[in-house]
Amino acid sequence: MKSSLKIVVFTTLYALVLYLIYQMNNDEVLLMFLTFSLMIPLVYLLNDRYKQQQHIAHLHEETLKSELNLLKSQINPHFFFNTLNNLYGLAVDKSEDTQEVIYKLSQMMRFTIYEGRKNTVSVNDEIEYLENFIELNVIRYKNKLDINFKQVIEDEKQRIPPLLFINLLENAFKHGVDSQLEDQYIHFSLTTSKSSIVFNIENNFDKKVLEKNKIKRLSGGLGTENLARRLALLFPDKHQYKSTIDDNRFIANVTIDLT
């Protein structure tokens, strides 16, 4: 009702002013008034369109943040479910390493819960997290693995997204090491600089065992799908994620352009 009244009052005043100007019989003033009258709704429409675009952009940003948080929350159960299974096996065997595994697992959970919620963490903290994961599995396999982690770090304090590469490392154990009884290896590297982040990983596996495991599992592949989606959200059009299988070797490469 108020809106309709405003429109009526504005229209009446506009018509009155236009009539008075017309009575002045001055074409220049009339032209200026008509031009100004046309500009007002145009400016209003442009301003309204800008506000709409800002609102849409804000909603899009909030949607992306929500999806990223969801993806990061999916990492925790996926990883810790497998780790707790490993811990259960050690407990059943009454291994002397059980206490150390529990401690390392608690350290990793602390990082995941507190640091994993942040948008970025230091390269040094992320490496420490990966190394804890490696040490936990070395204890599990009783040092029978060939693991090589090469690091080329320009600045340890550089900020990067947390928990970005743990899925690839976890899959190397789950689908590679667990599929064979001997000669297992995992070789991976992390290179960081101001302009790029590069992560490479290679591991071997037993094809027959891996195929049997795929049939037994009702679901799988969450880790790599999760990584691909996070990269797409965090670094759209500025990353490459490639994975290949060469005979009994799995090779993956992630390259992120930070320029």
Where are the chain's structural domains?
48-257
Which is more confidently placed, 166 or 175?
166
Candidates 3.30.565.10, 3.40.190.10, 2.60.120.960, 3.30.420.10; CATH matching 48-257: 3.30.565.10
Name the CA dihedral angle for 88, 135, 155, 201, rounded to a multiple of 10 degrees: -90
Q: What is the mean pLDDT of residues 145-150?
A: 90
Q: What is the pLDDT of residue 117?
A: 77
211 touches 198 (CB < 8 A): no
- Measured CA to CA, the distance from residue 189 to residue 199 in angstroms comes to 6
- Measured CA to CA, the distance from residue 126 to residue 165 in angstroms comes to 9
Q: What is the pLDDT of residue 74?
A: 57
DSSP alpha helices (H): ranges in the chain? 2-23, 27-92, 98-110, 123-141, 166-171, 207-216, 222-234
> Which sign does the torsion angle of CA 231, 236, 239, 242 carry?
positive
Tokens 């046309």, located at residue:
38
Lowest mean pLDDT among 207-211, 245-249, 252-256: 207-211
Q: What is the pTM (predicted TM-score) of this model?
A: 0.67
Q: What is the pLDDT of residue 123?
A: 95
Q: Quick: pLDDT tens for 192-245.
A: 999 999 999 999 888 776 666 665 554 445 557 778 888 888 898 999 999 888
Q: What is the pLDDT of residue 20?
A: 75
Q: Quick: pLDDT tens for 14-62.
A: 677 766 766 777 777 767 766 777 677 667 667 767 777 676 565 556 5
SS3 assignment, position 12: helix
25 — phi, psi (to 5°)? Answer: 60, 40
Most confident of 87-91, 129-133, 148-152, 174-178: 148-152
Q: Pick from 187, 179, 183: which is nearest to 147 by CA?
A: 187
> Average model confidence (pLDDT) for the chain?
78
The fraction of the chain above a pLDDT of 70, given in percent, is: 69
- Measured CA to CA, the distance from residue 104 to residue 132 in angstroms comes to 6
- Measured CA to CA, the distance from residue 45 to residue 130 in angstroms comes to 53
Does the pLDDT value for residue 145 go beyond 70?
yes
Q: What is the pLDDT of residue 157?
A: 94
